[in-house]
Amino acid sequence: MTTPETIRLYGTAPDSIVDGPGLRYAVFVQGCTHGCPGCHNKDSQPRDGGTVHAIDDVVADIRANGLVHDVTLSGGEPFEQAAAASELARRLKTLGYGIWTYTGYLYEDLLALAASAASALPCSQGTAWTQGAGICHSPAFASTPVCSLQRASAASEHSAFSAGAFSQGLAPAAVRALLDATDVLVDGPYVASLRSLGLSWRGSANQRLIDVSASREAGAVVLWETHEDFPRKPASW
């Protein structure tokens, strides 16, 4: 996979408090084919919109912001620019930033696609991708498939996924690379009828906050949890 040097962006938010816990730098990629009714970034959907940025420049801008230690990739649909988004995320993780990624796809579907990139690719904590079947096995769950072609309705009855969902040209190796670089994945399409202002860091109740590393280790979806909605106020305040 050729390392990309640019990424097409809808925009950025250097001081977001709504795209994950704490103060974060949010990067909104351009281009999305989901077309969720009620999308709050509708202008980010056209593939030829936005502006092209050098990934080096995006990294430099984030590093120049001394207040943030975590970055969120949103959109648009990051997995429809998976090669560029994964390269950006990889560089930022190397620098110590935590990475959240928002997607309209289901984690299980992305996992299945990533599995087709190679017959057996090593993952963290002893987990391996399995080619073709869309299965991620760990030693403790050696017979447990994780494939939403069979489980999409269980994950969300409102899922927009279909067997043709990846006809948009998502590259398996790039999808795998972006999953590898992601700490927490917020998955699923926005469903206006399930919108709730009481939800933390997601727009509708069908969406999940998934701990990617823990999910690989378990061989099943593990939801990310926090005991605090916001950082503690320093005692000196």
- Integer-rounded Cα Rg, in Å, for the chain is 17
Domain ranges in the chain? 6-218
Q: What percent of the chain has pLDDT over 70?
A: 73
* 141-165 mean pLDDT: 37
Strands of the 98-102 sheet, one edge to the other: 51-54, 6-16, 24-29, 70-74, 98-102, 184-187, 208-211
Whether the pLDDT of residue 146 is over 80: the answer is no
**Residue that is written with structure tokens 């919108």 in the block:** 195
Can you give the pLDDT at residue 168?
Answer: 55
Can you give the pLDDT at residue 10?
Answer: 96
- Tell me the one-letter amino acid at 197: L
By CB atoms closer than 10 A (0-12, 13-18, 19+), residue 117 is: middle
Beta bridge partners of 24: 16
Q: Are 230 and 217 in contact (CB under 8 A)?
A: no
Q: How far apart are the C-alpha atoms of 183 and 212, rounded to whole Å?
A: 6
Query: Which pTM value belongs to this model?
Result: 0.78
* 149-172 mean pLDDT: 48
- Cα dihedral sign, 113-118-120-122: negative
Q: How far apart are the C-alpha atoms of 19 and 9, rounded to whole Å?
A: 16
Can you give the pLDDT at residue 87?
Answer: 97
Kind and range of the H or E element at 15?
strand 6-16
Whether the pLDDT of residue 237 is over 70: the answer is no
Can you give the pLDDT at residue 170?
Answer: 87
Whether the pLDDT of residue 188 is over 80: the answer is yes
30-81 residue pLDDT tens: 999 999 998 888 899 999 999 999 999 999 999 999 999 999 999 999 999 9
Pick the CATH number of 6-218 from 2.60.120, 1.10.1200, 2.60.40, 3.20.20: 3.20.20
Q: Which of 51-60, 157-166, 167-176 has the highest mean pLDDT?
A: 51-60
Is pLDDT larger for residue 152 or for residue 209? 209
Can you give the pLDDT at residue 156?
Answer: 41
Can you give the pLDDT at residue 228?
Answer: 54
- Cα dihedral sign, 143-146-152-154: positive
